[in-house]
Amino acid sequence: MKKISLNSQILIGSLSGILLGIALSSLDKESTTLHISLYIAELLGMMFVDLLKMVMVPLVFTSIIVGVANLSEHQKIHLVWKTTLGYFFLTAAVAIILGLAAANLFKPGEGLQLPMFQEAMQNFQAHEMTLPEFFTQFLHSLFLNPFAALAEGNILAVVIFALLMGIALVIGGDRFQNTRSSLQELLELILMLVGWIMKLAPLCIMALLIKLVITQDLSLLMILIKFISIVIGTILLHSLLVLPIILYLVTGMTPIKFWLGAREALITAFATSSSAATLPVTLQCAEQNLQVKRNIAGFVLPLGATVNMDGTALYEAAAALFIASLVGVDLNLMQQMIIFLTAMLAAMGAPGIPSAGMVTMLLVLQSVGLPVEAIAILLPIDRLLDAFRTSVNVEGDLIGSLVVQKVVNDTTNNS
């Protein structure tokens, strides 16, 4: 009998998780079955995410060093840098414009009034941060003690240190060939661990999705259904149309072929709501399914997991207009330009800031004088929307690695 592939197992597990979650949600809230099921789902989901986080930091560290060293050997590093950052900026800009356009067109706050959410807002305590404070904390987070950054899982600081180490290895030349070989072997060992962890993915992703479905507040979902629909619809537009068009125009790869190769990473991203935790799976999909070379994948994907946040930028722009509508503020073009710039900066700076999503959303609201306590309205639905945001973030990273590889190959062949 033919063995079911891991991709198919994950897909079956995902569908089972959603269906079981819906079935369990229909039980009485005090039901013993519901509480036991939720406990088991939380336990399995937490274990899977923790296992991914266990390998995430050493994987980021080794993959970037090896990637930079290999790129520099072929004099490609400058082209890869420019193409990667250009792609990240372009897709984030398009995502924010989509978020602003959808919020202006469909007006998600229409028919809702701020007093409806007064209790949630009164109980919310925000740590406000000005733009200068944000820049100070962001810059401070770039250059930390590397051992502390590795221990604390500070991805952005690890990325910066790994980039500098990779450059130092290249400048050092043949003297450090043994070090480079050792890091390459360490990377292969870590990827072997990732393969073992992914054998648990079907069951654990099912558990994560059961928890996601069970813990949704249906009454609040119905109140905010218009806003939720607009955000999810716009994210789907970006992920199903904008990014695939860029992919096809640059690489010639069809969206279907891409999604088949990337589905393992996209489902994991949806279930975990963490680009960083999904990174081991993303790298595996890029190299094994999409044939992205290790030196490109090892550079673009860890960087993308920290600074390429299309879904986050789109959401923050749309949420700012939603809250403005709730409080009766009509934002003009200049104010929306400020939201555009702040959402772009906030999404890129998020990984270096504690409680990143909260702080960056507050920053966007503060930039145009909106009440920061209004974010309390969005907190109960954030986990659901975060699943969609993270999926499009990871999709953008994977497409970015394919785009960069194609541009580098074409430029090298033509030179």
pLDDT at residue 354, as a whole number: 42
> Which whole-number Å values give the CA distances from 15 to 48, 197, 349, in the listed order?
18, 20, 34
Provide the H-helix boundaries in 154-308.
155-172, 177-198, 201-214, 218-223, 225-237, 243-251, 255-272, 275-284, 294-307
| pTM recorded for the entire structure | 0.85
* Cα–chain center distance at 209: 17
pLDDT tops 90 at residue 388: yes
The pLDDT tens digits of the residues spanning 213-269 come to 898 877 778 878 899 999 999 999 999 999 999 999 999 999 999 999 999 999 999
Q: What is the pLDDT of residue 355?
A: 45
pLDDT at 57: 84
Looking at per-residue pLDDT, the higher value among 8 and 92 belongs to 92
Mean pLDDT is lowest, of 76-85, 268-277, 331-340, 406-415, for 406-415
Over range 199-210, report the average pLDDT.
92
Of all residues in the chain, the percent with pLDDT exceeding 90 is 41
SS3 295: helix
The first and second tokens of residue 254, run together, are 């069809």
Cβ atoms < 10 Å from Cβ of 288: 13
Tell me which residue has tokens 């030196």. 295
Q: Exposure pattern of 195-228 as b/e (b: 16+ CB <10 Å)? A: eebbeebbbbbbbbbbbbbbeeeeeeeebbebbb
Q: Is there a contact between 138 and 349 (Cβ–Cβ < 8 Å)? A: yes
Ranking 157-166, 277-286, 333-342, 352-361 by mean pLDDT, the lowest is 352-361
Q: What is the tens place of the pLDDT at every residue in 361-374? A: 877 888 888 887 77
Instruction: List the domains of the chain with CATH numbers.
Output: 6-414 (1.10.3860.10)
Burial class (CB in 10 A: 0-12, 13-18, 19+), 56: buried
How many Cα neighbours within 13 Å face the side chain of 39?
Answer: 6
Is the separation of the CB atoms in 196 and 29 below 8 Å?
Answer: no
Instruction: Report how many helices (DSSP H) and strands (DSSP E) the chain contains, helices first.
Output: 19, 0
188 or 357, higher pLDDT: 188
Q: Tell me the pLDDT tens digit for each residue of 83-142.
A: 999 999 999 999 999 999 999 999 887 777 655 555 544 554 545 556 676 667 667 667
pLDDT tens-digit series, residues 94-108: 999 999 999 999 988
Separation of alpha carbons 171 and 403, rounded Å: 27
Average pLDDT, the chain: 85
- pLDDT level of residue 46 (50, 70, 90 thresholds): very high
Quickly tell me which residue has 């770039």 as its tokens. Answer: 142
